[in-house]
Amino acid sequence: MGQRFIFFFFLIVLIPNLCYGRYYKTKEIVAKSDSILEEAIGHRFFPYCKVDNGSYYEYVNGKKKAFYKPLLKKKKCHLGLKAIYVKYNFEMPYPLCKWYDTIRGSVVVELGIDSEISLQNEPKIDFIPDFVEQNYPCNFISQDSAIAIALTDSMKSGVTPPYAYIKYYPAKKRWVWVVLRTMWNNEDFTNDKATKDDMVIVDAEKAKILEHKIIPFAPHVN
């Protein structure tokens, strides 16, 4: 009886573990991810990173079919774990910049499973501006100045006054003011045409117009 029990235990428990790895606890995965991100982003910024509920993992079953599950929903992941995507939201107050006093962004730590949990790709943290990393004030023109510059480029008449929000392009490391005005269409009294915005992009540091075009209307969030 004892030998049969050991045999069935081997079949039921040990063989699946050998084929599909072991169970990984959620807190173990998050701890590993935290360690990697803290090293990448630095001790100063890491406390402002919070794990997002959108984090998930990929696993395969015995038929090699892939499934995706939320990471934070349970205390451990399925067997057959293949990849883990731990998403963090970043939000940090920055009073040294009047026009961008809260730094926000998101970063994903992509993990894989070899014999252990390992990093697959370096986390992208380019949403943190240079002036924040170096801890000095930003050098932006004011919102009113950006609107005044945009108006010199013949913005269309509109149903709203021009308004502006600051935006950062990480790839180019460029800060711009996006100046918008919802346009008035004198020929569209029945309001059956799509509303449009007149948009002017102004370099927030060099005070130069970079782009001016008409775009479809959409709610804009700073």
Helices and strands (DSSP H and E) totals, the chain: 5, 10
Does pLDDT of 18 surpass 80? no
Residue with tokens 């969030």: 221
Q: Tell me the pLDDT band of 40, cut-offs 50, 70 and 90.
A: very high
The better pLDDT of the pair 63, 72 is held by 72
Rounded Cα distance, 16 and 12, in Å: 7
The better pLDDT of the pair 204, 1 is held by 204
DSSP state of 183: B
Q: Tell me the pLDDT band of 8, cut-offs 50, 70 and 90.
A: very low
Q: Give the pLDDT confidence score for residue 160 in this predicted structure.
A: 82
Rounded Cα distance, 96 and 136, in Å: 7
The better pLDDT of the pair 61, 219 is held by 61
Q: Give the pLDDT confidence score for residue 15 in this predicted structure.
A: 43
Does pLDDT of 19 surpass 70? no
Lowest pLDDT segment from 15-19, 69-73, 93-97: 15-19
What is the distance between the terminal CA atoms of the chain, rounded to a whole angstrom? Answer: 70
Report which of 79, 88, 82 is spatially closest to residue 35, judged by C-alpha positions: 88
Does pLDDT of 189 surpass 70? no
Q: Are strands 49-51 and 196-203 parallel, antiparallel or unpaired?
A: unpaired
For residue 142, give the H/E element and its range.
none
Phi, psi of 85 (to 5 degrees): -125, 100
Rounded Cα distance, 33 and 110, in Å: 8
pLDDT of 116-126, one tens digit each? 899 999 999 98
The residues near 71 (Cβ < 8 Å, ≥ 6 apart) are: 26, 29, 30, 55, 56, 57, 77, 84, 85, 86
pTM, two decimal places: 0.77
Rounded Cα distance, 186 and 136, in Å: 47
Q: Give the pLDDT confidence score for residue 7 in this predicted structure.
A: 43
CA torsion angle 171 201 210 100 (round to 10) = -50
Q: Give the pLDDT confidence score for residue 71 in this predicted structure.
A: 96
pLDDT > 90: percent of the chain? 64
Lowest pLDDT segment from 31-45, 163-177, 199-213: 163-177
According to DSSP H, which parts of the chain are helical?
2-9, 15-20, 26-41, 130-133, 143-151
Report which of 69, 105, 67, 100 is spatially closest to residue 88, judged by C-alpha positions: 105
Question: What's the rounded mean pLDDT across residues 179-190?
Answer: 72
Q: Give the pLDDT confidence score for residue 36 in this predicted structure.
A: 97
Q: Give the pLDDT confidence score for residue 79 in this predicted structure.
A: 85
